[in-house]
Structure 1
Amino acid sequence: MTSTQVAPARESHVVSSRHRFMTRHASWIPVFAAIAILVAMVIGAQIYFDGDFLSPPLISSILLDNSYLLILAVGMTFVILTGGIDLSVGAVMSFTGMFGASLLRDGLPSGVVAPVMLACGALIGLGIGVLVQYFDVQPFIASLAGMFLARGLGFVVSLNSIKVTDSSILWLQRTRWHFGDWYVTATGILALLVVAVGALLLAYTRFGRTIYAVGGNEQSARLMGLPVARTKLLAYVVSGTCAGLAGVVFTAYTGAAYPLNGIGTELDTIAAVVIGGTLLIGGSGFVVGSMIGVFVYGMIKTIINFLGVDQSWTRITIGGLLLLFVVVQRVIVARSARRR
């Protein structure tokens, strides 16, 4: 009699513990899914290419080639966590690159040019934030206006490509520190530092906690006396600043600036952030997850290159993964709502 009573009680305790774990850690499930997909791709590619795929130089190049995208993804994470979107980041990256390259061509030192590029990005981000917060413009429309503005300003600077010869800017990309067969560039280190700072801001500051609160329920955040307006403005400023920094990195990566650079990059950034587990409705997500999403994106491009097929398959694969993760997000949100 006693044993039959203990067994159901034990089973109930296990189910209850599992329920608590899923409730508390549901936001990490998409991140783990992204990690699983990344690991599966690496293992599958290694097997398919008879062990010739996975090598330190190749893995190092993924960070090198996607440093600018990683920086953009950090800024985009802040905006999406508030329930917004920023379609301007690719155009801002292009414009700040054009403006910075023109200033360098005119003889200004890189120590002045780089902060100016970041300030230009922050200013455009602030303008988008003001439209969203104080003029009640939808983030999609406000950031679309910012995208057209930045793209137009890039063409105003120059219709042609501007070559960058400044040694300090080019040093960011050309200098490599080797650790055996592995290597890292200054742009890669800069991108990882941005990830670290973004993760710390979200996890351990009042600003970060308010970001989550605003994205979770903006009305409740207002009732709790949280600085909703200032937080949303700062989220777009962070995104714009990251876009300006990405302009510095991308200019160093290509060695030139061109007004058509960055077309479609905003969509790549959003895809990486969503694949990394950040909910499009806001309130749930992590910078680390966005980094994983960028690595998934970079790994897909690398595998497509190894296969020697058309690059359009990169878009097709990313589109399929994006659809999958949006469905996963909807399932998680629905299950969380039922548990409440």
Structure 2
Amino acid sequence: MITALKPKPQHLPLFATISVLVLLYAVAAMRYHGFTSWYQTTSLIADSAPLGLAAIGMTFVILSGGIDLSVGAVIAFSSIFLARCMVGTEMGGFNMPSFVAIPLVLAVGTLFGGSMGALIRYFKLPPFLVTLAGMFLARGLALNMTDDKRLTIVNEPTFDPLVDFLFLGFNLPAIAFLAILLLAMFVSQYTRFGRVVYAIGGNEQSAMLAGLPIGKTTIKIYALSGLCASIGGVLYAIGSQSGDASVGYLLELDAIATVVIGGTLLTGGVGYVFGTLLGVLILGIITIIPTYEGDLNSWWTRIAIGGLLFLFIGAQRLLQSRIE
């Protein structure tokens, strides 16, 4: 009976993440008045939505054994590209309606990610170098689209109801994040695409010998990462009614940290999208603690995140030795 209840080694990172989240939330709830309120909960998810969207795409990438350093830059590019598409010609834009501009931006972000996936797969290039080049390219294109790094979308009536929209206290970014999260959880666990992602991360050579579509799936994985990042950029542009070429700076590192803290192995093949949600919440709680403390330097959040990363990377190494 005890043996039957013993968790499998691949589940241990997720259990560790749950333990850290419960402990962190309990301490914060006891220390800070109002921390457990519904308003604080919805605000935490809303503030974490851009990071969460990037982390969802990053989860699939890391599950496959890859990495994507371009997501923060793609968010910035998508926001500024949407603004450029929608502003008038007197501001150097294309004066597109929102129902045309938004799908165009999402398509470009998806194509950008898929192109990096094609380079990685068919030219046998390291994901680190390809996505690093993609990061510089996307950020450079964003900076080149405006003279002062920011482009305001003026007189856009379709954005006003979206900015003011609330459902049970959740705003549009929070709802989009939660909806895409649920969809990603389903895709990762109950579709052929999800199973192939795990197979590639577990052992790419074995997956290839089994006749699985490695090439197509790799392209789809990075296209999905680009799509998630571009959705984050669109939501930022809607919320701020502007595009910003400097937004999302170093967000790719936070996304990687979130996925790792969420229990996904950097070597691929082990992890869950649900764990990424837990990682997002952990980083979100750590980020808002200085606000409650008042006199605490915000750089302590980076120190705490770094400490957690060391802890989880060490735990991953021990787990890998047990699995092997």
**TM tier, smaller:** over 0.9
Structure 1 unaligned segments of length 5 or more: list them: 1-12
Partner of 1:315: 302
**Is residue 67–residue 249 contact of structure 1 (8 Å, CA) maintained in 2?**
no
**Is residue 125–residue 238 contact of structure 1 (8 Å, CA) maintained in 2?**
yes
* TM-score normalised by the chain length of structure 2: 0.93
Match of 1:123 among 92, 96, 111: 111
Cα distance in 2, alignment partners of residues 209 and 46 from structure 1: 38
Partner of 1:37: 20
Partner of 2:91: none
Structure 2 unaligned segments of length 5 or more: list them: 89-94
Following TM superposition, by how much is the alpha carbon of 1:314 offset from its aligned partner in structure 2, in angstroms? 1.2
Question: Deviating runs (4+, > 3 A) in structure 1?
Answer: 169-173
Of 223-232 and 307-316, more deviation after overlay is shown by: 307-316
Percent identity reads: 40
Partner of 1:169: 159
Say which one has the larger Rg. Answer: 1
The aligned amino acid for 2:151 is I
Residue 22 (structure 2) pairs with residue 22 (structure 1): no
Partner of 1:54: 36
Following TM superposition, by how much is the alpha carbon of 1:48 offset from its aligned partner in structure 2, in angstroms? 2.1
Superimposed CA distance per residue, residues 168-218 of structure 1 (whole angstroms, 9 cap, x where no aligned partner): 33533322234xxxx111221111111111111111111110000000000
Partner of 1:336: 323
Match of 1:135 among 99, 123, 135: 123
Aligned length: 315
**Alignment partner of 2:7: what SS?**
helix
Residue 185 (structure 2) pairs with residue 186 (structure 1): no
The aligned amino acid for 1:38 is L
Residue 240 (structure 2) pairs with residue 254 (structure 1): yes
Following TM superposition, by how much is the alpha carbon of 1:137 offset from its aligned partner in structure 2, in angstroms? 1.1
**Is residue 101–residue 256 contact of structure 1 (8 Å, CA) maintained in 2?**
yes
Partner of 2:92: none
Cα distance in 1, alignment partners of residues 237 and 49 from structure 2: 12
Match of 1:67 among 49, 54, 75: 49
**Is residue 27–residue 277 contact of structure 1 (8 Å, CA) maintained in 2?**
no
**Is residue 34–residue 40 contact of structure 2 (8 Å, CA) maintained in 1?**
no
**Is residue 172–residue 187 contact of structure 1 (8 Å, CA) maintained in 2?**
no
**Is residue 97–residue 247 contact of structure 1 (8 Å, CA) maintained in 2?**
yes
Cα distance in 1, alignment partners of residues 98 and 212 from structure 2: 39
Cα distance in 2, alignment partners of residues 110 and 103 from structure 1: 9
* TM-score normalised by the chain length of structure 1: 0.89
**Is residue 125–residue 236 contact of structure 1 (8 Å, CA) maintained in 2?**
yes
Superimposed CA distance per residue, residues 129-178 of structure 1 (whole angstroms, 9 cap, x where no aligned partner): 11211111110000000001101110121132112342333533322234
Following TM superposition, by how much is the alpha carbon of 1:102 offset from its aligned partner in structure 2, in angstroms? 1.2
Residue 132 (structure 2) pairs with residue 144 (structure 1): yes
**Is residue 75–residue 238 contact of structure 1 (8 Å, CA) maintained in 2?**
yes
**Is residue 75–residue 240 contact of structure 1 (8 Å, CA) maintained in 2?**
yes
**Is residue 129–residue 236 contact of structure 1 (8 Å, CA) maintained in 2?**
yes
Partner of 1:325: 312
Cα distance in 2, alignment partners of residues 167 and 187 from structure 1: 18
Q: CA 1:36–1:65 in structure 2 vs 1: closer, same or farther (change >3 Å)? A: same
Superimposed CA distance per residue, residues 76-131 of structure 1 (whole angstroms, 9 cap, x where no aligned partner): 11111110000000000100110001111133111111111111111110121112
**Alignment partner of 1:257: what SS?**
strand
